Amino acid sequence: MAHHTTEVLVGRIGRAHGLRGEVTVQPTTDSPEQRFAPGSQLYSPTAGGFVVGTSRWQAGTLVVGFDRAKDRSAAEALRGTELWASVPIGDVEEDEYHDTVLIGLAAVDPAGRPLGTVARVLHLPGQDVLVVGTPDGERLVPFVAALVPEVDAAAGRLVIDPIPGLLDGGDDDAS
């Protein structure tokens, strides 16, 4: 295969750190040392390209200096920015899907009945969560094999095996 790449969300910029334009970053990748290595090129859909100048761990927090943030006010302005990287498809774990692949997929139940559409993906500390737009509003579905046994990106759909209360608004009596 030729050099196919895909886009993956690798982190989100937090608050400014110090006076030299460094920021804290909440990584959403399993390999932050690789994704935030000095010289790495990242981009944001809202803010354009970034080049990592420095990165280090400080008390469990990733602190990154980017080429374009030279002072604290420039760093503050970046707060909340999502950072994406182009990664070779071979670097993607087999059971790992990139947000851009998942968003827009039709969610169906095991019998093939439509449940809704994947609106976005939340990267929470414990696990990723799919936000599925249903006729009753948005529902959160933990992106785990037990609940999402099949992802068929080529067919534009994924299967959600809903447990009671997962998608119906949770009006049932909680056990």
5-90 and 99-159 agree in CATH topology? no
Domain ranges of the chain: 5-90, 99-159
- Strand arrangement of the beta sheet that strand 150-152 belongs to: 137-142, 128-134, 114-123, 106-108, 157-159, 150-152
- Fold for the domain defined by 5-90: Elongation Factor Tu (Ef-tu); domain 3 (2.40.30)
State the CB neighbour count (10 A cutoff) for residue 25. 26
- Tell me what pLDDT residue 66 has: 93
Maximum C-alpha span of the chain:
57
Closest among 144, 142, 150 to 166, alpha carbons compared: 142
Instruction: Give the residue ranges of the chain where pLDDT is below 50.
Output: 1-3, 94, 170-175
Residue 145 near residue 156, CB atoms below 8 Å: no
- Tell me what pLDDT residue 21 has: 93
- Tell me what pLDDT residue 3 has: 47
CATH number for the segment(s) 99-159: 2.30.30.240
68 vs 125: CA distance, rounded Å: 28
Residue 167 near residue 115, CB atoms below 8 Å: yes
Q: What is the pLDDT of residues 15-49, one digit of tens each?
A: 999 999 999 998 887 778 888 999 999 988 888 89
Q: What is the pLDDT of residues 118-132, one digit of tens each?
A: 988 887 767 788 899
